[in-house]
Amino acid sequence: IKPLIILPDPILRQVSTPVETIDADIRRLADDMLETMYDAPGIGLAAIQIGVPRRLLVLDVSKEGEEKTPLVFINPKIVKSSEERSVYEEGCLSIPDYYAEVERPAAIAVEYLDRDGKQQSVEADGLLATCLQHEIDHLNGVLFIDYISKLKRDMVIRKFTKAAKTRGAKAI
């Protein structure tokens, strides 16, 4: 289980670089990310959220009590987005306990490499489409609070900046 990077850490704003070779190290990183995600608990996690600026994300949108379906997306690319849009109340493991409604394309097509380095493509809608777009945003240094009003975003950043100071103080 790896420590999560929390707002306002500037690492979250980095653009992650493509994965060159899919080897045992990348597969171990993906497994570490899945373990960290399940522990949070969350339904998605991008490598940057544990401080690794690589274009790799994991997700599992299976429901409670259902068979787990962990998915690994390497160098994902959105190749199609529907005109139709949907709204979800989103959260983020890097912005704990803050939720806001975000509107995104309702359906997308994504091309990516799987954990064996095999080229894959998937058509997604519903929560999978929302989660995939949320995670791919992370790979580009974009956070879901970038879709809310500037007023609200500045309030959230101010709140987390203050908390970071007190957290730092406590550490001392």
Ligand X SMILES: O=C(O)C[C@@H](Cc1ccccc1)[C@H](O)SCc1ccccc1
Catalytic residue numbers? 135
Strand, helix or coil for residue 89: strand
Toward Zn ion, which CB reaches closer, 96 or 117? 96
Q: Does 36 bind ligand X (CB under 6 A)?
A: no
Q: Does 93 bind ligand X (CB under 6 A)?
A: yes
Q: Look up tokens 């690319």; give the residue.
A: 77
CA atoms within 13 A of residue 161's CA, in its CB half-sphere: 7
Q: Does 133 bind ligand X (CB under 6 A)?
A: no
Minimum separation from the CB atom of position 138 to Zn ion (A)? 6
Task: Using the CB atoms, write b or e for 68-104: b if 16+ within 10 Å.
Answer: eebbbbbbbebeebeeeebebebbbbbbeebebebeb
Quick note: the x/- pattern for Zn ion over 41-80, rule CB under 5 A, is ----------------------------------------
Binders of ligand X: how many residues, by CB under 6 A?
Answer: 16
Minimum separation from the CB atom of position 98 to Zn ion (A)? 11
Strand, helix or coil for residue 78: strand
Write the CA distances from 26 to 84, 91, 115, 134, integer angstroms: 35, 26, 8, 21
**Residues 83-122 contacting Zn ion, CB under 5 A:** 92
| Partner from ligand X, Zn ion, none binding residue 108, C-beta < 5-8 Å depending on class | none
| Partner from Zn ion, ligand X, none binding residue 43, C-beta < 5-8 Å depending on class | ligand X
Among 29, 43, 50, 72, binds ligand X (CB under 6 A): 43
The two tokens of residue 34 are 């899945």
Length of the chain: 172
The two tokens of residue 123 are 């058509």
Footprint of Zn ion (CB under 5 A):
92
